[in-house]
Amino acid sequence: MADNKQYYYMRLKDNFFDSDNIKLLESVPNDGYKFTNILLKMYLKSLKNNGSLMFNGRIPFNTEMLSVVTGHSIGDVDRAIEMFKEFGLIEILDSGEIYMMNIQEFIGKTTTEADRKRAYRKEIDDKKNIGTNVRQNSDKTIPEIELEIEKELEIETKPETNYQKLVAVFEKNGFGTISPIASQKLNDELLDFTKENGSTDESFNILNKAFEIAVVNGVSNLNYVLSITKRWYQSKMFTVSDIEASEMKHHGKPNTEPKQDISKLSREEQLIAVMGKDGVRFD
């Protein structure tokens, strides 16, 4: 007999983190732990809707909404979704509705698991065949949806870490979607400054200032940003106050790093202008 009880909790087996899918997710450099964290939060969010990620039972969760409820950047969520699809952990219908494919393994009684899986698969197939009206509220703006999520589901999102803030600065200012290599470089630079000044907040302000200079100069290149921070680091300027004091000393006002016209330089001179004569530090 099928188990029709509604479950709002999960029971993870003791070998959950030993499965091939989870091990492969966690093996991704720098992002692996984020993917498993996002996956678990998506499982939990789907419980009240029988494994389907729907807000209020009628609005499919999109990337922006999942970013809000999981506390991860949009870029992280995008990459996680792609990996979950590749590993068969989720299925996304044409309506945008996301189904968590293994959810029946984590709820209810073990003896009724096979029945629940069959019923769950039938529900997904039926929706594929007949369609659904879940897009009836798709005209709502993202801010409106986020406010409803926070009000009706009483979501308490964790404050963004300074690393997550830097990723947001990177992705929102024309630098593209951050890659694992770029992510590692950015995190290393944040840690290096923090070792010297003892404050991740201060280190974030320093890197954010370097990004601002790059944006003003129209250079959407991480190596250009790191060449700026490298110069500050080597000059032992570990706080924004140190940097601004140096700018005042040499220029009489804060340095806005006027953009250099590199179009007339040789290829070698262009690389030096962007990356610095000694290249980027990889401590």
For the record, the structure tokens of 277 come out as 């004569």
Report the alpha-carbon angle 154-51-138, nearest 5.
Answer: 65
Yes or no: domain 162-275 corresponds to CATH 3.90.1530.10: no
Query: What predicted TM-score, i.e. pTM, was given to this entire model?
Result: 0.39
CA distance 63 to 82: 11
Sign of torsion, CA 93 97 98 100? negative
CA distances from 109 to 17, 112, 282 (A): 21, 6, 51
Mean pLDDT by 10 residues, the chain (283 residues): 55 79 83 88 84 82 90 90 87 85 68 61 68 47 55 53 89 86 89 92 93 90 92 92 86 52 55 50 39
Cβ-in-10-Å burial (0-12, 13-18, 19+) of 184 comes to middle
For the record, the structure tokens of 218 come out as 């129209």
CA distance 186 to 277: 20
CA distance 31 to 38: 11
Per-residue model confidence (pLDDT) at position 117: 64
What is the residue extent of each domain of the chain? 16-152, 162-275
Per-residue model confidence (pLDDT) at position 208: 94
The answer to whether 239 touches 206, Cβ cutoff 8 Å, is yes
Per-residue model confidence (pLDDT) at position 130: 61
What residues are paired with 16 via a beta bridge? none
